[in-house]
């Protein structure tokens, strides 16, 4: 009887110890998963920052021409400063007589970035061709290429990292793609007016909905903003 009680008590103790160890193991697993997630976020932020720096540095070195194909998505809060840096660089380049051109997907919400880039002096066109929806790149002076890579497949996915590739051959391929789309696409001004016709709202109301600067938009369009 005493042996049975001792064995039963031992089993109970071992069961309790097992449950406690299991609890701590699960807790440790959750903490480990959380740490991995946070490290992953930090890594994506770093590589995305490096992509913007690569674009900015390549543009700064431009002597003649910069052209690119970008998603034109409205930037998240953490990207606002980076986009403003790009806009300032475009302004500096165009003021120096350097040509800057951008292709963006033909979506209404892309008017915001088109507005910023156009206001800085860049030529912006909106493309209907499907390849523009999946490619992200800039080419500087016909030899420096910076290609953006999304974290996963999809036009709406943010660019998470990029590659800076000095290659005249690759730049030539990108040039052919760009020129083929460019000649068939419409300008920022044309697309803005097209959206007005399709939606039936006033340009002032559309500007407000898309958070566009009405005064700057008025200069770009070269016409009064209707109420």
**pLDDT at position 120:** 93
Is residue 83 a part of any domain in this protein?
yes
Residue 182 falls within a domain, yes or no? yes
Q: Is residue 22 part of a domain?
A: no
Q: Are 146 and 155 spatial neighbours (Cβ–Cβ below 8 Å)? A: no
Token pair, residue 89, equals 């660089």
Poorest-confidence range of 6-20, 55-69, 112-126, 146-160? 146-160
pLDDT at 100: 97
CATH number of 188's domain: 3.30.870.10
> What is the predicted pLDDT for the residue at 203?
74
The answer to whether position 130 is within a domain reads yes
Taking residues 82-106, report their average pLDDT.
94
pLDDT at residue 152 in the model: 54
Residue 156 has pLDDT above 60, yes or no: no
- pLDDT reported for residue 59: 94
Look at residue 149 and tell me whether its pLDDT is greater than 50. Answer: yes
* 68 Cα distance to chain centroid: 13
This prediction's pTM: 0.73
- Sign of torsion over alpha carbons 152, 59, 104, 170: negative
Q: Could you tell me which residue, 134 or 171, shows the higher pLDDT?
A: 171
Residue 12 domain-assigned (yes or no) = no
Which domain covers residue 67, as residue numbers?
Answer: 44-221
Predicted confidence band of residue 131 (pLDDT cuts 50, 70, 90):
low
pLDDT class of 181 with cuts at 50, 70, 90 = confident
The answer to whether residue 13 is domain-embedded is no
Rounded CA separation 121/53 (Å): 21
Report yes or no on 20 lying in a domain: no
> Measured between alpha carbons, how far is 103 from 115 in angstroms, rounded to an integer?
13
Question: In this predicted structure, what is the pLDDT of residue 43?
Answer: 46
Q: What's the structural domain count of the chain?
A: 1
For the chain, give the mean pLDDT.
80
Calpha distance 156→71 (Å, rounded)? 8
């Amino acid at each position: 009887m005493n042996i049975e009680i001792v064995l039963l008590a031992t089993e109970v103790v071992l069961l309790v110890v097992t449950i406690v160890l299991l609890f701590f193991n699960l807790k440790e697993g959750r903490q480990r998963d959380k740490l991995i997630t946070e490290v992953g976020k930090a890594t994506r932020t770093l590589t995305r920052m490096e992509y913007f720096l690569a674009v900015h540095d390549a543009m700064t070195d431009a002597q003649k021409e910069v052209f690119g194909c970008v998603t034109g998505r409205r930037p998240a809060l953490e990207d606002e400063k980076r986009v403003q840096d790009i806009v300032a660089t475009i302004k500096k380049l165009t003021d120096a007589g350097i040509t800057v051109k951008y292709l963006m997907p033909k979506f209404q919400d892309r008017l915001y970035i088109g507005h910023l880039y156009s206001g800085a002096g860049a030529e912006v066109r909106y493309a209907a061709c499907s390849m523009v929806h999946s490619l992200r790149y800039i080419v500087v002076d016909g030899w420096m290429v910076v290609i953006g890579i999304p974290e996963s497949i999809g036009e709406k996915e943010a660019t998470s990292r990029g590659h800076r590739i000095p290659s005249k051959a690759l730049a030539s391929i990108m040039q052919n793609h760009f020129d083929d789309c460019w000649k068939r696409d419409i300008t920022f001004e044309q697309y803005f007016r097209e959206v007005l016709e399709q939606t039936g709202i006033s340009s002032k109301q559309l500007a407000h909905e898309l958070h566009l600067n009405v005064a700057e938009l008025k200069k770009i369009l070269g016409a009064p903003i209707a109420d």
